[in-house]
Chain A
């Protein structure tokens, strides 16, 4: 029995990749004022190990470097307004079974998938509209041949 948790690794130094993506999007006519990127790990963890998960990831220092990253557990389990989550379904990044990072077992972790979260905002810092996010995903952020973009607008109320 596991629970799904999302761990976000975000750069605390300037993000050249996000800057390049922003410049390219603007050149392609997608009007975005700010673009932030983070690595997002979807982790299947045993409930009793959940409390030590972040500490373990900090200790291993493979997906996280204290000199340039911030690491946090996300309370939301789906993209927020202005966000696009890009993943590669059924790819080699997916792992099932006891998960190892840098040769060490992550205690209580039974699944780990990496996604990229892009956060788009306007000049006032407000989340970009669903249309802009969708256009950014279509034109640059996602290759639909093997990637999947999940945005806030895809989430239908139950």
Chain B
């Protein structure tokens, strides 16, 4: 029996469909679970994915209200039990606001946040690549990726700039919480590759235990040939099977699925 993954939906979430589809494409049993679901039912899932969107309209701050939603009770309990938790974009913002990432030293207070993009402070949607910046096994969700794996995705956010005090940023780097950094298509980390001025070039953070991953770009929006940004889409034109083949960002979901087997 495949692992059951809950893709959590708050009022304002908008990426649950493609996230559920990406999970199912790699053999997971995934369901969209809404904010009013029975908590005991939610607790029965093996893993949680918090997808992108604008939970609670980003009121107060991106992710701030959802971080205190009752659904997060199940996520906190699950994370403490070692269940896998993946937050994508708005989901990543929620995880930081909930103190589930980076959770330096296992501390669940708010240690960092995703602040307004720099330099313009505006919403930006652009194709990006991210590189695995930790040994794959440091995080259960990335454990089946190749070392230094480069994953394509879409950065699509107004608040994606990692911000924290200098001592926290130093610890994020030193203690192995910097899971993904922005890079170019060849894996080179350059200033130009960072779409939002994020500190450390950070695109994703992992918690101390290695079971909670918060990643800003959307791998599920570049997970099939038909939505690739490179020429593979043109090459597949006229070939439905090739066009519908999972690839690119699906790698992160494949690694998640292998971790759950």
Q: Does A17 contact B59, Cβ atoms closer than 8 Å?
A: yes
- The answer to whether the Cβ of B243 comes within 8 Å of any Cβ in the partner chain is no
Q: Does A145 contact B65, Cβ atoms closer than 8 Å?
A: no
Name B110-149 residues within 8 Å CB distance of A.
Answer: 110-113, 115-121
Q: Which of A20, A28, A145 meets B56, CB within 8 Å?
A: A20
- The answer to whether the Cβ of A144 comes within 8 Å of any Cβ in the partner chain is yes
Residues of chain A with a CB closer than 8 A to B112's CB: 145
In the complex, A76→B110 CA distance in Å?
A: 32
Q: Least Cβ distance of A19 to chain B in Å?
A: 9
Q: Does A92 contact B118, Cβ atoms closer than 8 Å?
A: yes
The A interface, classified by DSSP as helix, strand, loop or mixed, is loop
In the complex, A111→B204 CA distance in Å?
A: 34
Which of B44-52, B161-169, B183-191, B233-241 lies at the interface with chain A?
Answer: B161-169
Q: Least Cβ distance of B237 to chain A in Å?
A: 40
Residues of chain B with a CB closer than 8 A to A24's CB: 60, 65, 68
- The answer to whether the Cβ of B97 comes within 8 Å of any Cβ in the partner chain is yes
Q: Does A141 contact B60, Cβ atoms closer than 8 Å?
A: yes
Name A19-41 residues within 8 Å CB distance of B.
Answer: 20-21, 24, 27-28
Q: Least Cβ distance of A63 to chain B in Å?
A: 14
Q: Least Cβ distance of A41 to chain B in Å?
A: 14
Residues of chain B with a CB closer than 8 A to A88's CB: 115-116
Q: Least Cβ distance of B18 to chain A in Å?
A: 26
Q: Does B64 contact A92, Cβ atoms closer than 8 Å?
A: no
Q: Does A91 contact B115, Cβ atoms closer than 8 Å?
A: yes
Residues of chain A with a CB closer than 8 A to B65's CB: 20-21, 24
Q: Does A92 contact B60, Cβ atoms closer than 8 Å?
A: no
Q: Does B60 contact A145, Cβ atoms closer than 8 Å?
A: no
- The answer to whether the Cβ of A143 comes within 8 Å of any Cβ in the partner chain is yes
Q: Does A91 contact B116, Cβ atoms closer than 8 Å?
A: yes
Q: Does B116 contact A93, Cβ atoms closer than 8 Å?
A: yes
Residues of chain A with a CB closer than 8 A to B120's CB: 92
Name A128-156 residues within 8 Å CB distance of B.
Answer: 140-141, 143-147
Q: Least Cβ distance of A101 to chain B in Å?
A: 13
Q: Does A143 contact B110, Cβ atoms closer than 8 Å?
A: yes
Q: Does A145 contact B116, Cβ atoms closer than 8 Å?
A: no
* Contact flags B221-261 to A (C-beta < 8 A → 1, else 0): 00000000000000000000000000000000000000000
Residues of chain A with a CB closer than 8 A to B111's CB: 145
In the complex, A143→B64 CA distance in Å?
A: 9
- The answer to whether the Cβ of A16 comes within 8 Å of any Cβ in the partner chain is yes
Q: Does B59 contact A16, Cβ atoms closer than 8 Å?
A: yes
Q: Does B68 contact A143, Cβ atoms closer than 8 Å?
A: no
Q: Least Cβ distance of A116 to chain B in Å?
A: 9
Name A100-139 residues within 8 Å CB distance of B.
Answer: none
In the complex, A146→B168 CA distance in Å?
A: 11
* Contact flags A56-100 to B (C-beta < 8 A → 1, else 0): 000000000000000000000000000000001001110000000
- The answer to whether the Cβ of B21 comes within 8 Å of any Cβ in the partner chain is no
In the complex, A144→B117 CA distance in Å?
A: 17
20 A-B pairs within 8 Å (CB atoms) are namely A17-B59, A20-B56, A20-B60, A21-B65, A24-B68, A91-B115, A91-B118, A92-B116, A92-B118, A92-B121, A93-B121, A141-B60, A143-B61, A143-B110, A143-B113, A144-B110, A145-B112, A146-B115, A146-B164, A147-B113
20 extra A-B contacts, CB within 8 A, seeds A20-B56, A140-B64, A141-B60? A16-B57, A21-B59, A21-B65, A88-B116, A91-B115, A92-B120, A92-B121, A93-B116, A143-B61, A143-B64, A143-B97, A144-B110, A145-B110, A145-B111, A145-B163, A145-B164, A145-B168, A146-B163, A146-B164, A147-B113
Q: A residues within 8 Å of B by Cβ?
A: 16-17, 20-21, 24, 27-28, 88, 91-93, 140-141, 143-147
Q: Report, nearest first, the 6 A-B pairs whose CB atoms are least far apart.
A: A92-B121, A146-B163, A17-B59, A143-B113, A145-B113, A146-B115
